[in-house]
Amino acid sequence: MCERVKILGATVSCEAGHWYVSIQVEIKKERPATPSPVVGVDVGLKQAAVVSDGRRLQNQRPLALHLKKLGKLQRKLSKKQKTKAGETKRTVFSNNYEKQRLKVARKHQQIANIRRDVQHKFTTELARTCGVIGIEDLHLLGMMANRKLARAVADAAMGQFLQFLKTKVAYAGGDLFVASRWFPSTKRCSCCGHIKKRMPLKHRTYQCLVCGLVIDRDLNAALNLAWFAREMLCQLRA
């Protein structure tokens, strides 16, 4: 395939002692004429994502382990930060505190790099194999993230994920539909459309009392997101 690439510019940045160069390019590409499969993707912050066609993509366990380690480092840091009654704020800036703060910063950097790598691979795979994708509003996932971690970290990660996906899907000539926080992806039955009042997190299987469907919770959510994408596509083309 012949593609025209135009280099728009380059940015040099330095993060935690490492230098990075990013190059911005403009690529002209024609939209593929063949219809592509419509899928829904249920994304977990730590677990593998589930695609409505049955695939489970990119287990993020290494990331989860690092997040656990970060939690430990942060707890240690906050202990060092505590000042005993009567002590001045000097304690906060002790050498030990500074050392610990640096450890936390490095772990943040390491996690950001791993996450970027995981997200790049995952979004490339999705954009390459799916033409139309339905996905949840991922900022909501950030809000539900592990409370021991800063919500901002999770939010930023999810924002980055969505940005990668938008860019790659657009590049591949596909469509991405993001369901709002009100879309009942876990409560809806992907077979008959019945919506349950409650679907607690501990219920790993979805059981429909109306049509009798019994299905994995995440796969059901992914199928609902595929349905959502199909609906949006119909509205768009109507």
**Active site positions, annotated:** 42, 136, 218
Judged by beta carbon, residue 39 or residue 208, the one nearer Zn ion is 208
Measured CA to CA in angstroms, residue 223 lies from 46, 94, 137, 196 at distances of 20, 53, 16, 16
Q: To the nearest whole angstrom, how small is the minimum distance from the Cβ of residue 8 to Zn ion?
A: 50
Question: In this structure, how many other beta carbons lie within 10 angstroms of the beta carbon of residue 211?
Answer: 10
Using alpha carbons, select from 191, 174, 58 the residue that is nearest to residue 122.
58
Q: Does 172 bind Zn ion (CB under 5 A)?
A: no
158 binds Zn ion (CB under 5 A): no
Q: Are residues 138 and 162 in contact, defined by beta-carbon separation less than 8 angstroms?
A: yes
Residue whose CB is less far from Zn ion, 97 or 183: 183
Nearest to 132 by CA among 234, 30, 27, 3: 234
* Pairing outcome for strands 56-57 and 132-136: unpaired
Smallest distance from the beta carbon of 209 to Zn ion, in angstroms? 8
| 214 sits near Zn ion (criterion: CB under 5 A) | no
Among 195, 210, 214, 231, binds Zn ion (CB under 5 A): 210
Is 118 a residue that touches Zn ion (CB under 5 A)?
no
Does 211 contact Zn ion by CB under 5 A? yes
Contact between 135 and Zn ion per CB under 5 A: no
The CB density around residue 124, as the number of other CB atoms within 10 Å, is 15
Residues belonging to the chain: 238
Tokens 């419509």 correspond to what residue?
38
For residue 2, the tally of other CB atoms under 10 A from its CB is 5
CB of 188 to Zn ion, least distance (A): 9
Q: Closer CB to Zn ion, residue 101 or residue 196?
A: 196
How many chain residues interact with Zn ion (CB under 5 A)? 8
Indicate whether 215 belongs to the interface with Zn ion (CB under 5 A). no
Contact 166, 135 (CB under 8 A): no
Q: Which is nearer to Zn ion, 32 or 212 (CB)?
A: 212
Alpha carbons 143 and 159: distance in angstroms, whole number: 12
Window 176-205: contact mask with Zn ion (x via CB under 5 A):
-------------x-xx-x-----------
Q: How far is the CB of 50 from Zn ion (least distance, A)?
A: 19
Q: Does 213 bind Zn ion (CB under 5 A)?
A: yes
* Distance, CA of 232 to chain centre: 22
Write down the least CB distance from residue 195 to Zn ion, Å: 10
Rounded to whole angstroms, the Cα distance separating 28 from 31 reads: 10
Comparing CB distances to Zn ion, the nearer of 54 and 212 is: 212
Q: Which chain residues interact with Zn ion by CB under 5 A?
A: 189, 191-192, 194, 208, 210-211, 213
